[in-house]
Chains A and B, each alone.
Chain A
């Protein structure tokens, strides 16, 4: 450092006092600007992260309660006179609801009159009867016995129990009457009202009743759709990438394909929906709302993603491997299929998983091809009418009931969970199989 100081001194002597004054006068201002700039950068970085935190907090705050559901414990007597007047149960037409209604009425014997009774019955979900029917179907021996059964409460009771209904406001403004409030309080005192695991959410299809609505139908729809997408997009994408990287001559046609793929990756997804509507549904007359058509559209949508990822993977295989194989007498096709493809497979699969996760979250093109219908049945095949999980979220987000907002958030949590799993798988795959050359 000694020679440095000597050097400084020589500069100092040659530098005029004026310049030095200028520099040092501006120094404070420049440092201030530097700090400001740095602060701006820090703030900008926190914006995204703060949004994430707020978003997840809001989501979990809104949605986590949907995984638990209010149930009512009732002493159900499977009365032969009610459900099997002729001696055998007619599972389709017997009045199972009446069993639940009778049990509820036994708890409040002093309620009488048409309207109060109706109000009392509204504490129970309309799904209560179905649950009793399923119980009897599984075990016909229950007929004539008395069982203690947990039955789903109606969504307004559920909302009250979860604290989403303010009992102090005017009775006309809340979805639950004063009498119902009193009954709920009494049931709660007796320990007959309980929050239990909401199985219906994972085992039911869509429903107009929030307490019965579930995501199974949407999940199965998404599953079938992704199956179609994967079956089409992966082989076609890998084949296209192999051709473009290994065989395509450098000419206009290849350039055109390349530009095309890059542009397709940036085309708004809704335009793919228009394509699906005009070509697959209107022209090829494929069924509307079917996972098959959704899968086709999503395959076209994810194809560029998979092609781009696969090309990068193929590019990363060093040429020495190709040269060695060619030198040993392999044909070009053998080089590709025996050596390059196995080596780049992890990269291709990572691309495929990322493409699939994009397809899973996509909803705009599905709106175009009719996958927004209200569908109760769980789809069982590729041409059954179905919705997808993101579309189900869209549909529920539009519903005015408070209880649906909770379910929407829960469905989003499930969707994000799946996406995270897929991305985690991609990361693990990349880490595990990554090869350094």
Chain B
């Protein structure tokens, strides 16, 4: 089947290579993430990175999320 396919043009190998690359890559990433990356504590820590720091501000007090409304 492949021989017949390729006999039409030597360029036809490129889409096949592309597809194989992407399939292997995608399956690899999926398998790794759902089988290998299972340390829930570590993952939770990474997901919480945007909330880790206690900020202090000079000048008017910084406001927190959701605190919006007409000033004055």
Bound together: no
